[in-house]
Amino acid sequence: MDMMFRSVVGKLWLTIIALFAFILTLFSLLLVQSFDSYYFRKQTEGLKAMTEQISVNLQHATNQDSYLNSASAIGKAYHTRMFLVDEKKQLIASTEPDENMPDVTLEQLLNSSGLKIEEALAGKHPDPERINFPSNANAKDRVQVLAVAVPHPLSSGKNGAVIMYQASEDYDGTVAEVRKLIYVVGVIGFVLTTVFAFFLSSRITYPLRKMKETAHRIAEGDIHAAIPTRTTDEIGELASSFNTMASKLNNLIRAVSNEKEQLSSVLRSMVDGVIMINAEGEIVVTNPPADHFLRDWKYERQILPMHELYQQVVRFAHEVSADVPIQGRIWHVVMAPLYDQDQIRGAVAILRDVTKERKMDKLRKDFVANVSHELRTPLSMLQGYSEAIVDGIASSPEEHKELAQIIYDESVRMTKLVNELLDLARMEAGHIELHQETIRLRPYLERILRKFTNLAREQGVHIQLQEDTTQEMFDLDPDRMEQVLTNLIDNALRHTPQAGVVKIRAYGEDELWLEVSDTGSGIPEEDLPFVFERFYKADKARTRGRAGTGLGLAIAKNIVEAHNGTINVQSKRGEGTTFTIMLPR
């Protein structure tokens, strides 16, 4: 037992029990005392006020017998009894006692020391007092009443007294019930506190059994491991030391983790790909663009170029760079070494998708080459034929006129090329202006087709117009859209052989759909993605000697998009081509 009380379990149990007993005892004493004082004060104030009121009413009553009967009824209702005595303490009148209250005689009240009858006869108003009497049923039992005497003026000019008493059994019973309840709560609380104390004690000793395990977990890197204890003894201090150590390590790891998370957020938000390689050449860190690159490379090849570049970094100890084409895209890779003091411990590679840049470079080069090519032929012809005129090679007026006509045609062609280049540049810069009008759709399309009727007849091509819409009016820029349709119909006629068909179809209700289709030679499938680029041309063998500048479709696309519409093309070799325009209403 001595060892138990010196243990943590015993000390905690004794402390809790002592604290509970002290608090329960103090609470019960204060509660009983407070209840006793409050109840006694209210009962005495009520009894004294009732007695004085009866004395006053009795003094002014015209019929005292009738009032005494009323007072008797009231006394029974409030469990009280009244005596009226003269200055010699002789009984003048009294009320009948209630059967539920103790029967105390006037002599008992007058002979008790608690009733201050002398003060009442002297005109004073004493406070009620508790008076104990032996019980009539059993002499060993005691009966307690609350009695008071107040002065009552008599007709003889002297003071009598009104004496009233009230049983205090209700109060005693209430106090007894409160005490009984406190005792029951005390017993239950003692049992529960004991059980709780031993349970809590066993929980507090849990850190003792887990101390070694927790220390090993912290040493192995489980920084979040902690001993759940709040005691202030030696075990608590030891557990607190462990928890403090774990907390500091946890804060350090959290700081490192936050920095890692910030770095990860930066990597995830980067447009360029990032790959980190350790000393063994293994990829340990990537971001989403780098993952996309690696997936494409693994799909296409087995050996990653990262390994080859890493070997170069390790061999030469400086950064290397290379362009890696993969899955139709071009990635520019820059890899630099990572050092641990003087030793290379890995490398970091930055991957940038330069497909668009390389494509723009190629477009710029192609643009210069195409413009040079398109201008070189008419310029050479202008120079050659003009030299022929200057040197007098054309001897006859007819030959002179023929050479002049060729020079004029080439200058017109060159002017057209330059104007189309200027128009395309303005459109791509966003400087295109539309002058929209409300037009009647069918007359508008018929007027455009009439321009090609003679040309189609000469080439033996049938040209048709089909209208499948109930909307007669539409808002658009008639000049710009005529430029688009003229280009498409001219291309269709150029690529359609004799007995072929060129059809223009208009349909749609909410949107206007325009189709220009032909039964010509079609466009190769590999060329379809590029038909709307500048200087695109089909095979010259299919143009029947009427090659264009290659800018018409690029201009058409910009005009349609300026109308918030779209233009698409579908084609099959040997079957024909269909250009589809959608214009929103």
User: Average pLDDT in the 569-574 region?
Assistant: 88
**pLDDT tens-place string over residues 190-218:** 788 777 777 766 666 666 667 777 777 77
**pLDDT tens-place string over residues 480-518:** 888 889 889 988 998 899 889 999 999 988 889 999 999
User: Average pLDDT in the 22-33 region?
Assistant: 80
User: Average pLDDT in the 228-256 region?
Assistant: 75
Q: CA-CA distances (angstroms) from residue 545 to 459, 494, 495, 539, 542?
A: 13, 9, 11, 11, 8
User: Average pLDDT in the 455-482 region?
Assistant: 88
Report CA 548 to chain centroid distance, whole Å: 58
Higher pLDDT, 394 or 342: 342
- Return the pLDDT at 505: 92
Q: What is the DSSP code (8-state) at residue 128?
A: P
User: Average pLDDT in the 47-64 region?
Assistant: 74
- Decide if pLDDT at 69 tops 80: no
Ranges of beta strands (E only) in 480-541 are: 501-507, 511-518
Higher pLDDT, 326 or 437: 437
**pLDDT tens-place string over residues 76-133:** 767 777 888 888 878 777 777 777 677 777 787 787 877 878 877 887 888 788 887 7
- Decide if pLDDT at 542 tops 60: no
**pLDDT tens-place string over residues 333-379:** 888 888 877 788 888 888 888 877 777 777 666 666 666 666 676 77
Among residues 276, 275, 345, 285, which one has the least CA distance to residue 317?
Answer: 345
User: Average pLDDT in the 296-303 region?
Assistant: 66
Among residues 498, 486, 477, 413, which one has the least CA distance to residue 448?
Answer: 486
Q: Determine contact, residues 157/59, Cβ cutoff 8 Å.
A: no
- Decide if pLDDT at 156 tops 70: no
Helix (H, G, I), strand (E, B) or coil at 584: strand
- Which range in 143-152, 250-259, 430-439, 465-474 is most confidently predicted, on average pLDDT? 465-474
Tell me the C-alpha distance between 264 and 294, whole Å: 18
Higher pLDDT, 569 or 9: 569
- Decide if pLDDT at 478 tops 70: yes
The lowest-confidence range among 111-125, 259-273, 361-375, 444-458 is 361-375
